[in-house]
Structures are given as C-alpha cells and as structure tokens.
Amino acid sequence: MTFVIFGIIALMALIPSLYLRYVRIRPATWWGKALCWLPIALMGLTLVLTAVFLHSATMLHLFSASVFCLILPLLIYTTVSAIGRGLSKRFPQAKKVCDGIGIGLAVVLSLSMLYGSLFGWRKVEVKHVDLYFEDLPEAFDGYRIAQLSDMHVGTYGADTRFVEEVIAKTNAEQADLIVFTGDLINIRAEEVEPFEHALAQLHAPDGVYAVLGNHDYCRYGINKPKAEQEAGVAALKASISRVGWQLLTDEHVWIHRGKDSLALVGVGNISRPPYPSDGNWRKALEGVPDSSFSILLSHNPEAWADTISQQTSVDLTLSGHTHAAQIKIGSWSPAALMYEQWSGWYEHEGRQIYVSEGLGGTFAFRLGTKPQIVVITMHRK
C-alpha cells in the first residue's frame, strides 16, 4: 500500500514536468529544460528520503508539504492549462484565459496549503456541544465529557509542545470524564514514549478512558510481520497503562452518580471491508441491559452507521477517525465523499453519535478545520 501511494504521488509530479517540458514551455536552453524537470526531481528526492527515514516526523512533514504546496498546485495548473489548449481550436482566446486561471488557482492553492502546513495544524479549538436525552439518568443531567481523538503523536517526533497544549486546554475544562477515541500513534508504539509524561497529566474525576484506532494496531509500514504488529500493540497498551488511562477493549465499565449509573462501553476498531475489523460490539455490550443508559466509544463511525444505531440500544456513540479529511471548505469536506457521518452530531431513531474532527493526522496539516477538543454536556429532555 505504501509503494502504491508513493507511485501515485510520483505520477502526479511527472505529469506537470512532462507538460511543461514538451507542451507548454518547450525550453531551448539546458537550464530551462532542467527547470521543467524540477518538480519530479524534488518529488523523487523527497520520496526517497521519506522511504529511507519512514519514521522521521520531519521527513513526513516535508513530504506532505511538498505534495500540498508544490505538486498539487502544479497538477491543477497543468489540468486547467491543458483544457485551454484543447479548447483553443474552437475558441482562440481559451489558451491564454485558461493559462491565467490555472496560474491563479495554483498560486492560491499553494499559499493556502502552505498556511495549513505551517500554521493551521497548531490552532487548537475547544468545541462545546449540548446533547439531549429522554432517558438520561437524573443524576447525570449536566454531566460533561471531554472527547479527544486522533492525536497521532508520531507526527510531532519528540516535540511535545502541541500535545502539552492539548492536555492543558482539556484539563482546564474540568470535565467529569475524559475519553480518547483512538489513533494515538501513526506506525510504531515507540512514538508515544516522548509524550508519556504529558499524557499522564490528563485527569478527570471519573477517569480517562480510551479505545484503539486503526493506526494503533501497528499494521502500517512496509512488509511488517504479524509478530511485530502484535508486539507493537502490546507495547502501546503498556504505554497507555503507564500514563494512567484505562483502555476498553470490547468491554464496559459502570460510572455511578448516587443511585444512578451509566455504562461506558469501548470497542476495538471496526471498519468496513476490505479493511480488517478488530472490535466486537456484542461482546462489549454483554451484561449491559437495554434499559441502561450507555455511551459507546468506537473509533470509526462506520460501526454506528452499520450496526450500532440499528441493532443496539446504545444512547450515544463517540467516534473520530475521519479528521474531516483535514481540510474543509465552508461546511463541506472531502470526507463527506467517504463517510456518511464525518463530523459533528447525527441521530437515527433516538440513537445519537458525535464524530470529532480530531486533533492531528499522519502529517501536520489543517485547512478550514482546526484540531478539536470536544466538550459534551448531556442534558435530560
């Protein structure tokens, strides 16, 4: 999969180089010809360095910035310019007009992507949400849950400043309960080690609970043996235990307020085919009466769409995973093309889900969507 992605990106860089060299510019000087091949040369160098230093946060950031700020804008220009050249036989001015439009779009896109790569991913926001339930136990009226998701600490190398800011802002909310809905790492369990001290500072009266996301199963990487994957999961679970979080793996706990209680349920990652599913929601809900108020932590919102909202009595599901594709234009995101529930609140026959847009990603980039701490206050209708 990694090689396929690298191949697609290399092709994205090759197309503008070929277009500039043989169609648009056709330079006569050696330096002009070399300049046309600069995009593919830079992309090739970045791909090689990224492949060699696959676990380097700096290289991953450089790689993503190269794609977003250089290759993608050039590809947009190439596409628009080529359309203009195709239309020029019928509309003589189309070539000039489309070249201008292509250049303008490329510049705007490049600057926007540069902002997202340098600054957008740093602007943490706290989002307050009020949710209402008819069957919420009376003692839990006004109960506050801070939801964190998709931290991807490996993206930051050993630089703990971003994570420390997230922890400080979360603690400042003084929520009753803190939950983490998966994807603590990118590839390796060792990524979390520089952040253990910061993560251990998270605290809430009813504790900090977590579930695993798809990245937390340590499957990503080049030709990683199953034994190495399993060892990575074990190491990550040990880290989560050391920082004082309680991992819920297809199980539940009860949270009490006076005579009232609610079930907090956690499942392993559940994905649609062809991706593997590791969670078992039936096992997690064993012993939870349908009449009990329950909150389910499920990394991928597809589980809610496919089964939880239709086959269970779970009142509220908290998910992440989508990152809102780390880019939003107004209220729309490319994530909407991939997920039915990709951001915010959804409801189906009284079953509710809230999907966090998450905090990070496998690369440091955010445009139109900020790293998000969600603070949910539950109310009785």
pLDDT at 55: 65
236 and 267 share a domain? yes
Quick check: bond before 274 cis, omega within 30? yes
Decide: 70 and 39 in contact? Cβ < 8 Å.
yes
Task: Kindly give the residue spans of alpha helices, DSSP state H, lying in 53-179.
Answer: 57-66, 72-87, 94-118, 161-172
pLDDT digits (tens, 9 = 90+) for 129-138: 999 999 999 9
pLDDT at 38: 80
Residues of the chain with pLDDT > 90: what percent? Answer: 78
Task: Kindly give the residue spans of alpha helices, DSSP state H, lying in the chain.
Answer: 2-19, 30-36, 38-52, 57-66, 72-87, 94-118, 161-172, 196-199, 226-242, 281-284, 302-303, 309-311
In the predicted model, is pLDDT for residue 235 greater than 70?
Answer: yes
pLDDT at 190: 96
- What is the mean pLDDT of the segment spanning 177-203? 97
pLDDT digits (tens, 9 = 90+) for 285-342: 999 999 999 999 999 999 999 999 999 999 999 999 999 999 999 999 999 999 999 9
107 and 129 share a domain? no
**Distance (Å, rounded) from C-alpha 240 to C-alpha 333?**
32
For the chain, what is the mean pLDDT?
93
pLDDT at 54: 61
138 and 198 share a domain? yes
- What is the mean pLDDT of the segment spanning 111-127? 96
113 and 25 share a domain? yes
Q: Is the model more confident about 352 or about 24?
A: 352
32 and 158 share a domain? no
In the predicted model, is pLDDT for residue 1 greater than 60?
Answer: no
143 and 284 share a domain? yes
Task: Return the CATH number at 373.
Answer: 3.60.21.10
Domain finish residue from 118, 145, 169: 118
pLDDT at 335: 97
Domain finish residue from 118, 143, 177: 118
26 and 95 share a domain? yes
276 and 339 share a domain? yes
pLDDT digits (tens, 9 = 90+) for 47-97: 777 666 666 777 777 888 888 898 899 999 999 999 999 999 899 999 999
Q: Please state the domain count of the chain.
A: 2
pLDDT at 31: 84
Domain finish residue from 118, 147, 162: 118
197 and 68 share a domain? no
213 and 88 share a domain? no
173 and 279 share a domain? yes
148 and 13 share a domain? no
Range of the domain at 33: 2-118
**Amino acid residing at 272:** R
pLDDT at 325: 97
Least confident of 3-17, 160-174, 264-278, 348-362: 3-17
